[in-house]
């Protein structure tokens, strides 16, 4: 995606995930420092993109290249910082307690279901990421995005972000791994709070993603105010299909109608 981002010379996205190490390091951050002289490098990761309910959440994290925190594991094993999906819930929670005190800075941005319905996930994700980056105490010199697509765009709110896209960056970059863990724990806690308000949907367990409990509750009770009403799962709910939101392609981005 070098033509879709403020591409960094000689730093095109890697070809595939097979070279990813088992735990995150500073390989990408050091390359950016050498190529750009970048000092503040923000790792960015998102969670909740594929959920049926709840916000999409983005975390931006900045580190100073000091050794990241580690956790003690069973049998003397060391648990190292990596992609949140490769960590247990207990280890994610434990990392989330120590990462804020170790990171130079971090911030969250989010996009609510109403905004996702209004503008679509691509734009909602961009907005959430930009909100996270703009909430940092100082703007980063460069940004590392997990994946092969630049979803913050070359220009956002008048600022041009220098972004590098990397497949499996959450397993290779300490800052992206930290962002991955913090975003996941932050959103899981939000969804657990919603579970108390809307019991029966299994939000504490599924975090708003489809599950048998979630699907059954939707069929019986319909969507909550925290569901994404423009998504295709609404077509499978005959009793509630009239609530589906449709974006009018002729009216432009952000226009909705109830059909």
**Binding site feature residues:** 45-46, 146
Half-sphere exposure (Cβ direction) of 247: Cα atoms closer than 13 Å: 17
Half-sphere exposure (Cβ direction) of 235: Cα atoms closer than 13 Å: 4
Dihedral angle, C-alpha 79, 178, 106, 121, nearest 10 °: -150
Q: Which token pair is 188? A: 């899981």
**Terminal-residue alpha carbon distance, the chain:** 37
User: How distant, in Å, are the alpha carbons of 11, 57, 127, 213, 231 from that of 121?
Assistant: 27, 12, 10, 25, 10
- List, as residue ranges, the binding site for a divalent metal cation: 45-46, 146
User: How distant, in Å, are the alpha carbons of 4, 23, 25, 175, 225 from that of 169?
Assistant: 18, 11, 10, 9, 34
CB atoms within 10 A of CB 251: 10
- DSSP for 102-135, please give it: HSSEEEEEEE-HHHHHHH-HHHHHHHHHHHHHHT
Round to whole Å and give the CA distance between 114 and 179.
24
Judge whether 168 and 57 are in contact, CB under 8 Å: no
Q: Which token pair is 7? A: 């591409």
């Amino acid at each position: 995606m070098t033509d879709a981002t403020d591409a960094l010379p000689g730093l095109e996205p890697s070809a595939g995930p097979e070279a990813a190490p088992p735990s995150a390091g500073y390989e990408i951050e050091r390359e950016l420092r050498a190529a750009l002289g970048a000092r503040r490098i923000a790792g960015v990761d998102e969670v909740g993109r594929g959920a049926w309910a709840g916000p999409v959440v983005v975390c931006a994290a900045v580190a100073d290249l000091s050794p990241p925190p580690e956790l003690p594991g069973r049998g003397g094993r060391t648990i190292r910082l990596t992609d949140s999906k490769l960590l247990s819930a207990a280890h994610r929670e434990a990392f989330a307690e120590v990462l804020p005190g170790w990171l130079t800075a971090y911030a969250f941005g989010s996009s609510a279901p109403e905004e996702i319905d209004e503008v679509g996930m691509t734009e909602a994700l961009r907005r959430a990421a930009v909100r996270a980056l703009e909430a940092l105490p100082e703007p980063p010199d460069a940004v590392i995005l997990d994946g092969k697509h630049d979803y913050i765009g070359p220009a956002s709110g008048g600022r041009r972000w220098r972004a590098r896209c990397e497949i499996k960056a959450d397993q290779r970059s300490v800052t992206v791994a930290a962002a991955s863990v913090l975003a996941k724990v932050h959103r899981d806690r939000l969804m657990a709070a919603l579970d108390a308000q809307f019991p029966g949907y299994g939000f504490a367990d599924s975090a708003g993603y489809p599950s048998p409990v979630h699907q059954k509750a939707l069929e019986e009770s319909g969507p909550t105010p925290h569901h994404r009403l423009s998504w295709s799962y609404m077509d499978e709910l005959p009793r509630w299909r009239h609530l589906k939101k449709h974006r009018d392609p002729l009216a432009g981005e952000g226009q909705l109608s109830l059909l």
